[in-house]
Chain A
């Protein structure tokens, strides 16, 4: 379990491409720069798509955790 306190949480469990990625983008636009978005997803594609997008968009992945089928990302909005 992580002790990073997210500013907002996005639960995408059960949702498939393209939803996790499009919701991640919308959610990160709604938090301030420096704030942290926590994303939970169990779509195997999301585990690939989310870090790829975060990298290209310049956001920082503070932490990643996988528990069973669920992947959790803590992403800090950088810009």
Chain B
């Protein structure tokens, strides 16, 4: 069954790896059976592939030294390593943790889990567009706040956070800033040195690399300890035989993203803005997230009086258009998204959300088709609605 016929607007959930990435990395599945720790020539070839990938990822984020990039199995794992690895290692300096209310659940639950070890967690409020309240941050942070975590951009509402300002506040207290850049990397430029970032999470599949790899950047003065323990891979910070194919692929994806991001974002922004302009013509429809400080490929809305899953199913079954609604965890538990509620929306407002994330397969010809489908879907569901 081919999934290539319809219009795929859920690139944030998953994307096909870039074919050039597959082309580059496949030799590590087919020809090079090397374990990067082995000392023979095949092992060395594998090791060299990992180090090359490390350099490429470091370049994408302007890390001062590629050795500060640690490969993990996913962004969730990188988040766990960042939060738990840093907190436990530096517990003598402080036992307080801060995170924005709209962080990914892997960040929030990592911090929650640390409460069992005696850490305290506080959540920084955001405004109605999802921007972190800087004054609240200033009030809440102290010299005991061992890790503050704010994402570069949020995947549900597209809002880009004022990382430089946040970093300034955190560093004034001499504390560490972790930034989850899963959805921002490869879309907008990230510069860990100039942005003042101590720890940064990356995901391979979110930059069109293969699934199964992520990375954590930890700055030169940041001390962390492993969460998964074992042998010496990744300087002992993330032991386990490396996923060579995924890591090599992630590196190549990072290189391509660095080169093409600028042109890509112009192209995607144009499609995004047209989609937003058209869809906002529908009655009782609102953009979620910030109108201008938003990811170039991200268009998210909420519709009054109808429900998100119905929107998703109708668009898929009737029009072969795939979108997302709220966050993954909310789809299993039926909770309204914690992100939308953090914006100050009421529960009933938070249920009608639709998130569209653009990718390589999307082009301007699709805009009118999508708009038409959304208009018809909304009309159909509103006719069914008692509200």
Chain A residues within 8 Å of B, Cβ to Cβ: 16-18, 21-22, 42-45, 69
Contact = CB atoms under 8 A, between A and B. Distances in A.
Interface string B329-343: 110110100000000
B332 A18 contact: yes
B109 interface: yes
Contacts, number: 19
A22 B112 CA distance: 18
B335 A18 contact: yes
Interface residues of B, number: 10
B362 to A, nearest CB: 31
Contacts of B330: 18
Q: Is the interface of A mostly helix, strand, loop or mixed?
A: loop
Interface in B108-124: 109, 112-113, 115-116
Interface in B73-125: 109, 112-113, 115-116
Contacts of A69: 116
A58 B333 CA distance: 19
B333 A16 contact: no
B109 A21 contact: no
19 contacts: A16-B109, A16-B112, A16-B113, A17-B109, A17-B112, A18-B329, A18-B330, A18-B332, A18-B333, A18-B335, A21-B333, A22-B332, A22-B333, A42-B116, A43-B112, A44-B112, A44-B115, A45-B112, A69-B116
Interface of B: 109, 112-113, 115-116, 329-330, 332-333, 335
Nearest to A18: B333
A22 B105 CA distance: 15
B131 to A, nearest CB: 25
B172 to A, nearest CB: 31
Q: Which 5 A-B pairs have the closest CB atoms?
A: A18-B333, A22-B333, A16-B109, A18-B329, A16-B112
Contacts of A21: 333
A47 to B, nearest CB: 13
